[in-house]
């Protein structure tokens, strides 16, 4: 359930919604006590500045630049007693424009104005409710969802997160085995408060047809991950965007201890995607990431390859499950082969907890742009610096600067990008 909420009334509306929902469950006093005992709630404030400069001469817009303030109120109840426990989750979101203009909009931070499409609205918001049922070690959720699965990963890289409407069963009945299954019907994108049908990510270099105005109201998913021991897990996941594609994803995640504060992590992913109905999807995607960690350092090397008649398929607006999906690009175009080199450092190892640093460089080539056209190439460089205050009056305040440079040959955009994010979460329960 999604409800537009103006900033002057959003807290009251969310609170009333929670009370009405709890009342609608018809809980007895003992059951209500159990329902509330394990409840938790928090208010997150996000201040987000986004600047993206387009460096190519052919760009229709010279830059995207906006500044916004977001608030996210999250509530998770416990479960009532009995064979089948009942609970409810809720999320209320509000986005406020601090700076924008028609010639600088489109960052994904703010909702577009329907009457003036290039302008951003002053505010937008929504409220999502999720009913949940628990039996043994299985939980069924119905309503607003933010799945994080190989086949569908809700995007939370802007001011407010992307949400879905549907059902999701998570089961832990067998020791070491995690099973997920469900169906998604609609999506609310990260810069929108409207529910809409699902669509497929397309684009010229991806060579996927069926995008644009064609949509689907059904995405089915199922998968299982088995943890063999503390260092090894394998998984299989299936996804089907009705009328667009079917997808099988296989994963292996292994950590090899190498001694005191040293390890080698191996992350292998293979996906096979085929067409259904309104598209031409045909893709094999292989990815491998190897990370050597020692002390506060981590050195990573990644490889990713695409083959088949199209690039990688995924639901529009979501995060693709790829090792070379980074700040701007996903390196998942038709026939693209890409490499990544990455370095991380956690300053806690030298006595500065809360401070982290990451930098990486990716290069991709062999992109098939069609008959008679030269192959496309691209590279991207990212740098993240983040600090979370550990004590004092600013405890839990987080500050992050994200910088990226993307350059391409024969296709795409040339981009310089900076994001500055200040966040703080206040526990309420």
For residue 53, being part of any structural domain is answered with no
Task: Give me the phi and psi of 347, to 5 degrees please.
Answer: -70, -5
pLDDT, tens digit, for every residue of 76-117?
999 999 899 999 999 999 999 999 999 999 999 999 887 777
Least reliable range by pLDDT among 13-22, 137-146, 269-278: 13-22
pLDDT at 204 over 50: yes
Q: What is the mean pLDDT of the chain?
A: 91
Residue whose entry in the numeric block shows the structure tokens 């918001």: 125
- Residue 31's pLDDT band, with cuts at 50, 70 and 90, is low
Using CA atoms, how far apart are residues 320 and 318, in angstroms rounded to an integer? 6
Is residue 303 included in any domain, yes or no?
Answer: yes
Residue pLDDT, tens place only, 363-391: 999 999 999 999 999 999 999 999 999 99
- 100: helix, coil or strand? coil
For residue 11, being part of any structural domain is answered with no
Q: Which residues contact 365 (CB under 8 A, 6 or more apart)?
A: 336, 337, 338, 375, 376, 377, 378
Q: Which domain holds residue 370?
A: 197-429
Inside any domain, residue 308? yes
Measured between alpha carbons, how far is 248 from 225 in angstroms, rounded to an integer? 13
Q: How far apart are CA 308 and CA 280, in angstroms?
A: 11
With respect to residue 391, please indicate whether it lies within any of the assigned structural domains: yes
Separation CA 388–CA 394 (nearest Å): 9
The 8-class DSSP code of residue 150 comes to: T
DSSP code for 137 = T
Q: b/e for 360-376, b at 16 or more Cβ within 10 A?
A: bbbbbbebbbeeeeeeb
pLDDT of residue 30: 58
Number of domains forming the structure of the chain? 1
* 415 domain residue, yes or no: yes
Nearest of 280, 268, 269, 340 to residue 309 by alpha carbon: 280
What percent of the chain has pLDDT above 90? Answer: 83
* CATH code for the domain of 381: 2.40.160.10
Does a structural domain hold residue 309? yes
The token pair at 222 is 């199922």
Question: Measuring CA to CA, which residue among 371, 152, 125 is closest to residue 271?
Answer: 152
Mean pLDDT of 277-286: 94
Query: Cα–Cα distance between 137 and 84 in angstroms, integer?
Result: 11
Nearest to 401 by CA among 428, 416, 381, 422: 422
DSSP class per residue in 172-219: --STTEEEEEEEEEEEE-TT----B-B-B---TTTT--S-TT--BS-E
User: Is residue 11 very low, low, confident or very high in pLDDT (cuts 50, 70, 90)?
Assistant: very low
Is 50 exceeded by the pLDDT of residue 15? no
The residue that leads in pLDDT, 180 or 22, is 180
Cα(90)–Cα(2) distance, integer angstroms: 11
CB 360 within 8 A of CB 393: no
Q: Is residue 322 part of a domain?
A: yes
């Amino acid at each position: 359930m999604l409800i537009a909420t103006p900033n002057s009334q959003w807290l009251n509306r969310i609170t009333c919604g929670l009370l009405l929902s709890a009342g609608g469950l018809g809980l007895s006093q003992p059951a209500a006590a159990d329902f509330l005992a394990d409840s938790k709630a928090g208010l997150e404030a996000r201040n987000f500045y986004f600047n993206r400069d387009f460096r190519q001469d052919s760009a229709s817009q010279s830059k995207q630049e906006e500044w916004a303030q977001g608030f996210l109120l999250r509530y998770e109840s416990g479960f009532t007693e009995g064979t089948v426990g009942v609970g409810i989750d809720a999320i209320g979101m509000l986005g406020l424009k601090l700076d924008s203009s028609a010639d600088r909009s489109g960052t994904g931070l703010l909702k577009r104005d329907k009457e003036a499409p290039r302008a951003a609205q002053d505010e937008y918001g929504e409220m999502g409710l999720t009913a949940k049922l628990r039996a043994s070690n299985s939980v069924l959720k119905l309503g607003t969802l933010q799945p994080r699965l190989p086949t569908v990963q809700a995007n939370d890289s802007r001011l407010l997160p992307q949400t879905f409407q549907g059902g999701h069963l998570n089961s832990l009945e067998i020791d070491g085995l995690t099973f997920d299954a469900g169906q998604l019907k609609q999506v609310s994108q990260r810069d929108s408060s409207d529910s809409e049908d699902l669509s497929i990510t397309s684009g010229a270099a991806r060579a996927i047809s069926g995008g644009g105005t064609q949509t689907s109201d059904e995405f089915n998913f199922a998968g299982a991950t088995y943890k063999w021991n503390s260092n090894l897990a394998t998984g299989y996941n299936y996804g089907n965007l009705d009328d667009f594609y079917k997808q099988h994803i296989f994963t292996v995640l292994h950590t090899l201890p190498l001694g005191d504060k040293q390890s080698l992590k191996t992350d292998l992913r293979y996906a096979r995607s085929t067409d259904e109905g309104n598209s031409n999807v045909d893709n094999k995607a292989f990815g491998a990431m190897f990370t050597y960690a020692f002390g506060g350092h981590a050195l990573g090397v990644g490889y990713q390859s695409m083959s088949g008649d199209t690039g990688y398929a995924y639901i529009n607006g979501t995060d693709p499950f790829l090792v070379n999906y980074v700040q701007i690009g996903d390196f998942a175009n038709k026939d693209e082969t890409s490499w990544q080199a990455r370095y991380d450092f956690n300053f806690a190892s030298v006595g500065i907890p809360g401070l982290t640093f990451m930098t990486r460089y990716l290069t991709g080539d062999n992109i098939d742009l069609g008959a008679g056209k030269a192959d496309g190439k691209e590279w991207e460089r990212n740098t993240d610096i983040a600090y979370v205050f550990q004590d004092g009056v600013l405890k839990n305040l987080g500050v992050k600067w994200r910088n990226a440079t993307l350059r391409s040959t024969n296709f795409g955009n040339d981009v310089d990008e900076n994001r500055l994010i200040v966040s703080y979460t206040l526990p309420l329960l």
